[in-house]
Amino acid sequence: MVAMTLNAVPDWKFSSAEGKANYEAACRRYPAQCIVDLAALKDNMAQLVNVVGGPNSGTAVMGIVKADAYGHGLIPAALAALAGGATWLGAAQSHEALLLRKAGIGPDRCHILTWVYNGTAVPFDELIANDIDVSVGSLAGIDAVAAAARRLDRPARVHVKVDSGFGRNGFTPQGFEAALNKLVPLAKEGVLHIVGQWSHLAVADSPDVPEFVASTDRQIESFKDFTRRMEQAGIAPEIRHLANTAATLSRPEIHFELTRPGIGLYGYEPDPAMGTPSSYRLKPAMTFQAQLGTVKDVEAGHGISYGRTYLTPDNTSTAIVPVGYADGIHRSASGFDMQGAEHVQKNGGPVRVMTVDGPKLMRVSGRVCMDQFILDLHGSAAELGVHEGDTVELFGPGRGEAFAEPTADDWAKAAGTISYEIFTCLRNRIPRLYLNASKVLDGRDLAKLDPASLL
């Protein structure tokens, strides 16, 4: 008898027989899949554009697609962001900025900004030749960009990065005089085109903490001081940008000419302290699902996984979820029980499991291994109707309490991190599959995607 498998994720709506075949092929290839809804990405971007006042407000929106679009897939996410009204894309690493242009996203469609490099080994020539804007935040960086622009005999479009208090990249107020001394003659000579002035906020996601609000206010004042100094030096920036998702959602006074949301595009608020995604009309775009491996009965007191940190409290069944820390499941999301004095009670990462009585939230029991982790089903698998091959959900859009559906925020809580790290750690051996591609993208853009990835 073939056991009927239960499914803890929605029945995916495939666009075609090919989409269904792609899904089945991905499930054969790997026992876990990331399903990314391109319609959600597009709608999230449209909502962020709405938040800054719409397409004609004078504030443009840059979709931040660094780190493979926070693990969602660089090109599909970038195209969905453009479909939603983004007119800029941002990628920290120049490699990814170049991949966007190589995929055929030309300067006629959007500006692209990149900002992480060391001034000695970055492909500035290629960046300038591909109409990619670059950040300058160090004297060595200015020299290197200028040298490349001279070689190409073409002005480099630069955004001057200022350190308004974040303490990462950019010129400090003290160091800015030296930067201006280099920038002004290069701008006058036409080697550099000073497009922007920008900076990054340290704690914009804590609107409830007065101390943090005050430090953000100080960053804004500092940012404006830098603008005044650029104006006085005769190189006023054409556009200024400071707002990440948090400030895009909560600080309209600093939208300036451009905002740079990242996590909001993927449907999450930057910090659960700010509320839920739905309070900002955002919808998490990714569902992370897996098919169960071995399901079996074990006796009470059975040690589960390395270190025997979890001992089954009762006779029970266990199920293997076939992804582990080599897939990006944080080992810190391991779950321990309360047996014995040394054992700390700690909730492991949550997994939505479908049973004959409806969905139940199970948790990682014991340590996460390299390629798998174990769930204590807290009951008999036969009675619960749980079988090898069932599809379980690690996280999804979070359809409310009644659905018992975890989100990446819940995994972040279990792992002691933030949703950003949950997404970006998911390895590329896990297939990324895309829903609603043909609804969101025109034929020209659809052709830029791997056809095997479309559902």
Ligand X SMILES: *Cc1c(COP(=O)(O)O)cnc(C)c1O
Residue of 20, 102, 296, 306 with catalytic role: 306
* Nearer to ligand X among residue 277 and residue 348 (C-beta): 277
Half-sphere exposure of 118 (CA within 13 A, CB side): 2
- Contacts for 277 with CB less than 8 Å, ≥ 6 apart: 267, 268, 269, 283, 284, 397, 398, 407
Q: Whole-angstrom Cα distance, residue 453 to residue 77? A: 13
Does the protein bind ligand X through residue 137 (CB under 6 A)? no
H or E stretch covering 316: strand 316-321
Name the minimum Å distance from CB 244 to ligand X: 4
| Pick from 304, 290, 407, 416: nearest CA to 354 | 290
Q: Whole-angstrom Cα distance, residue 135 to residue 245? A: 20
Determine the distance from the C-alpha atom of residue 390 to the mean position of all C-alpha atoms in its chain, rounded to a whole number.
28
**354 is annotated as contributing to ligand binding:** no
| Pick from 70, 51, 67: nearest CA to 59 | 51
Burial class (CB in 10 A: 0-12, 13-18, 19+), 272: middle
Q: How far is CA 403 from CA 178, 395, 399, in A?
A: 58, 12, 6
* Nearer to ligand X among residue 12 and residue 115 (C-beta): 115
Whether 70 is catalytic: no
Touching ligand X, residues 76-95 (CB under 6 A): 92
Q: Which stretch binds ligand X (CB under 6 A): 30-38, 255-263, 275-283, 405-413?
A: 255-263
Question: How open is the CA angle 87-89-94, to the nearest 5 degrees?
Answer: 150
Does the protein bind ligand X through residue 244 (CB under 6 A)? yes
Name the minimum Å distance from CB 135 to ligand X: 9
Site size toward ligand X (CB under 6 A) is 12
* Nearer to ligand X among residue 284 and residue 335 (C-beta): 284
Site string for ligand X, 328-367 (x = CB under 6 A): ----------------------------------------
* Nearer to ligand X among residue 270 and residue 431 (C-beta): 270
Using CB under 6 A, pick the residue from 9, 45, 64, 98 that binds ligand X: 64
The answer to whether 101 touches 130, Cβ cutoff 8 Å, is yes
Using CB under 6 A, pick the residue from 237, 262, 284, 350 that binds ligand X: 262
Q: Whole-angstrom Cα distance, residue 213 to residue 421? A: 24
Using CB under 6 A, pick the residue from 254, 263, 412, 437 that binds ligand X: 263
Touching ligand X, residues 266-305 (CB under 6 A): 270
Does the protein bind ligand X through residue 71 (CB under 6 A)? no
Alpha helices in 114-209 (DSSP H): 124-129, 139-152, 176-189
Q: Which stretch binds ligand X (CB under 6 A): 25-33, 80-88, 261-269, 349-357?
A: 261-269
Whether 13 is catalytic: no
Q: Which stretch binds ligand X (CB under 6 A): 260-268, 332-340, 354-362, 426-434?
A: 260-268
Q: Whole-angstrom Cα distance, residue 394 to residue 304? A: 20
Touching ligand X, residues 188-207 (CB under 6 A): 200
* Buried/exposed 285-301: b ≥16 CB within 10 Å, e otherwise: bbbbbbbbeebeebeee
Report residue 168 as tokens. Answer: 């990462």
Residue of 23, 42, 66, 325 with catalytic role: 66
**370 is annotated as contributing to ligand binding:** yes
* Nearer to ligand X among residue 32 and residue 40 (C-beta): 40
* Nearer to ligand X among residue 113 and residue 329 (C-beta): 113
Please enumerate, by residue number, every residue annotated as part of a binding site for substrate: 168, 370
Contact residues for ligand X, defined by CB under 6 A: 64, 66, 92, 200, 244-245, 260-264, 270
> What residues are labeled active site?
66, 306
